[in-house]
Every structure is written in structure tokens, then in C-alpha cells.
């Protein structure tokens, strides 16, 4: 599950963004692992020696520098997996987000939601939710920031 989370995180990092305040209560809950990376963290990575990085890594870091915040919440306890899902559903009930993907199979699911700016050319929020009901695992990844959809 951890490998899947890391792969998903790296895959979505250059193309997403999302709002954070609704999920603060999850940060200090025993049984929920919480990771938060602020804009300062991205900028510190972006300031490192770029010469040693390949072009793909430079592109990732350049995209990440436009993110304001990244939150990841993980739990493999049934009670807390439900808490994470409820927080996500409550947030979606308050926000106008477009569903990009909803995939369900064998008790597992992946849902991705996004919100664009008023011009429709940038993503300003994104939410990724991964659930394995058989193992009582839930992962919520949220981003805020501005990422251009027209970047070449």
C-alpha cells in the first residue's frame, strides 16, 4: 500500500492542487498518519543544485513550486479510515469540484476531484482518495496551488 501511495503521489504531484483547512482535524488524530508539505518545502527543493537533476526531475520541481500546500492522510484502522472518508465527503459537499476519475473494483476504489480557476486554464485544487475496504485502509491526498493546464 505504501508503494502505491508513493507512486500515486509522484504521478499526481506535477498536475494538481487542493484546499487544506477542512482536513486540519485529521492532523492530530492518533491512528492517522499525516504529512504536510508547505510551499516553503517545495521552494527549498527547487533551490537545490538543478544541474545534477535530470530534465524530468527539474520539471516536477518547477511544477511543485507553484503548489501552496500538500497534505497526505493515511490510516489502516477501520474507525479512522471512515473518519478520513467522512472528511473528504463533507468537503466535497461544500465545494464545487469536478470528478475526474471514480474507479471501483474488488472493494477498492480511487476517486480524483479537481477545481479549476475561473478561466479554466489552471487547476487550483485537487483531491485524491484511495480506499481499500477489505483492509480498512484509506489515503487522502490534497493539494492547493496553481498549476497550468496549458504548460508544454
Report the range of poorest mean pLDDT among 4-13, 16-25, 35-44, 65-74: 4-13
19 or 57, greater pLDDT: 57
- Does 89 score more than 90 pLDDT? yes
Looking at residue 14, what is its pLDDT?
Answer: 41
67 or 20, greater pLDDT: 67
N residues, the chain: 152
Percent of the chain with pLDDT over 70: 64
Looking at residue 119, what is its pLDDT?
Answer: 81
CA atoms of 66 and 39, how far apart (whole Å): 8
- Output phi, psi for 73, to 5 deg: -125, 130
| DSSP H helix total and E strand total for the chain | 5, 6
Looking at residue 148, what is its pLDDT?
Answer: 67
- Output phi, psi for 5, to 5 deg: -60, -45
CA atoms of 139 and 1, how far apart (whole Å): 9
- For residue 114, CA distances in Å to 78, 89, 134, 141, 142 come to 26, 14, 27, 12, 10
Amino acid at each position: 500500500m505504501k508503494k502505491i501511495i508513493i507512486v500515486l503521489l509522484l504521478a499526481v504531484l506535477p498536475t494538481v492542487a487542493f484546499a487544506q483547512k477542512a482536513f486540519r482535524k485529521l492532523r492530530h488524530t492518533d491512528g492517522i498518519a499525516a504529512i504536510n508539505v508547505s510551499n516553503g518545502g517545495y521552494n527549498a527543493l527547487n533551490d537545490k543544485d538543478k544541474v545534477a537533476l535530470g530534465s524530468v526531475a527539474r520539471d516536477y520541481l518547477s511544477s511543485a513550486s507553484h503548489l501552496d500546500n500538500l497534505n497526505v492522510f493515511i490510516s489502516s484502522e477501520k474507525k479512522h479510515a471512515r473518519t478520513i472518508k467522512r472528511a473528504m465527503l463533507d468537503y466535497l459537499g461544500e465545494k464545487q469540484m469536478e470528478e475526474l476519475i471514480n474507479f471501483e473494483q474488488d472493494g477498492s476504489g480511487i476517486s480524483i476531484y479537481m477545481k479549476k480557476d475561473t478561466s479554466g486554464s489552471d487547476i487550483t485544487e485537487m483531491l485524491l482518495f484511495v480506499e481499500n475496504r477489505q483492509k480498512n485502509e484509506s489515503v487522502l491526498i490534497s493539494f492547493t496551488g496553481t498549476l497550468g493546464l496549458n504548460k508544454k
